Amino acid sequence: MKKFLDLGFQPLANSYLDIKNLNKREKKFNLSVGYNSKNNLVSILNTVPKEQMFNEDYPYKSSESKTMKKQFKNLAAYIKKKFDPKTVLEIGSNDGAFIKNFSKKNVIGVEPCKNLANITIRKGYKIYPNYWDTKLAKKISKINKVDIIYSANTLSHIKNYSEIFNAINITLNENGILILEDPSLLECIKKTAYDQFYCEHIYVFSTIALHQILKKFNLEIFYIQNLDTHGGSNRYFIKKKSNSKFKISKNVDKNLKKEIKFGLNKFSTYKKFSKKVESSRIKLKKIFDNLLKNNKKIIGYGATAKSCTVLNYCKIDKKYFKFFYDTTSYKIGKYLPGTKILIKKYKRLKSSEVDYVYLGAWNFKKEIFKKEYNFIKNGGKFITHVPSPKII
């Protein structure tokens, strides 16, 4: 593993601070990112134990976003039509935004964050409040094997992917389909979206790397959908090698070639990326310094894990911000890790109250711009760092 990026000492991105521990020393770790030329994997170099991140305090809820809810609904309809599964299992079922599109008797959820698991358990779903592993896979497959396994934005969180794929192989029917959805490394590098790297994102996968890993587990990608979600993601449709029911689409090769052409299999590409990250930091800091000098009222929109990485890396702290707006009930009244900026309950933006709004949730830009049409019409401005720092 060869290091190409150092994002400094960072707090745990989703560990929002209560007022009572605002002055306590935060746990920090060095956020560095490396590339492994043997398997083409890009991963963070120092990892945090999963129990410190995915526990009963986990703040992220899939159902908070209209975009995500719509995506899950459409995918569920597609799965039913195309694969007509008897049983569907979701790894990382969060607060149920995906599984709620299926009948309770046909769907199983696995969710280790107890606060989230309990939301769906209370509604009567079959949920295992555990981490996904071979032990759980054996337990589930004794009752029934499953036809579809879906997992979105979870594989990138798990260090030991061998355990994941072994467990999947135990539970998945011979003709079953595994659908994985995670941020795309190609989009991350293209957009200089270095904020895809934080404690929870141990890996940001390229198709090249995933394709190679899956081979070891006798699994293969047969179709890929390129999505807009989370700043650019890929949805991989995967089958067991022995399953000849589905032909491998030409678009798999197309995606692989696109990534190779871009250079995702070369260390020099990542070095170039890290230079761009450095100049992105300088540019963003300059924008904030200028606005501060001119006494502009700045707030943040979407207190994301991503914004935690950016603001800590660029050393843009509470001195620049009045506060952040966020819709997630758990985050309201708390403070962003590291920079200690207060998070307030979301209110529609008014240009009479705010001058500039930093897009913490830049991945939901479309949804947000639609919602804040009046603010924009009345001259309100946004700041973003993707694909390069600018005021819009």
Sites of contact with ligand TYD (CB under 6 A): 60, 64-65, 302-306, 325-328, 331, 346, 361, 363-364, 367-368, 371
Using DSSP, state whether 62 is helix, strand or coil: helix
Closest CA to 237 of 262, 265, 214: 214
Give the nearer residue to ligand TYD in terms of CB position, either 281 or 331: 331
Please, are residues 64 and 292 in contact by the beta-carbon 8 Å criterion?
A: no
Residue 305 backbone class (left: φ over 0; alpha: ψ -120 to 50; beta: rest)? alpha
Q: How far is CA 175 from CA 79, 207, 378, in A?
A: 14, 22, 55
Q: How far is CA 159 from CA 64, 132, 136, 204, in A?
A: 27, 12, 17, 11
Residue whose Cβ sits closest to ligand TYD: 302
- The token pair at 208 is 């090249």
- Write down the least CB distance from residue 329 to ligand TYD, Å: 10
CA distance 43 to 56: 26
- Write down the least CB distance from residue 383 to ligand TYD, Å: 15
207-216 and 161-171 are packed helices; what angle lies between their axes, rounded to 10 degrees? 60
CB atoms within 10 A of CB 36: 13
Give the nearer residue to ligand TYD in terms of CB position, either 65 or 280: 65
Give the nearer residue to ligand TYD in terms of CB position, either 171 or 304: 304
Please, are residues 277 and 192 in contact by the beta-carbon 8 Å criterion?
A: yes
- Write down the least CB distance from residue 219 to ligand TYD, Å: 26
Give the nearer residue to ligand TYD in terms of CB position, either 180 or 368: 368
Give the nearer residue to ligand TYD in terms of CB position, either 75 or 221: 75
- Write down the least CB distance from residue 223 to ligand TYD, Å: 25
Give the nearer residue to ligand TYD in terms of CB position, either 320 or 325: 325
- Write down the least CB distance from residue 327 to ligand TYD, Å: 4
- Write down the least CB distance from residue 295 to ligand TYD, Å: 26
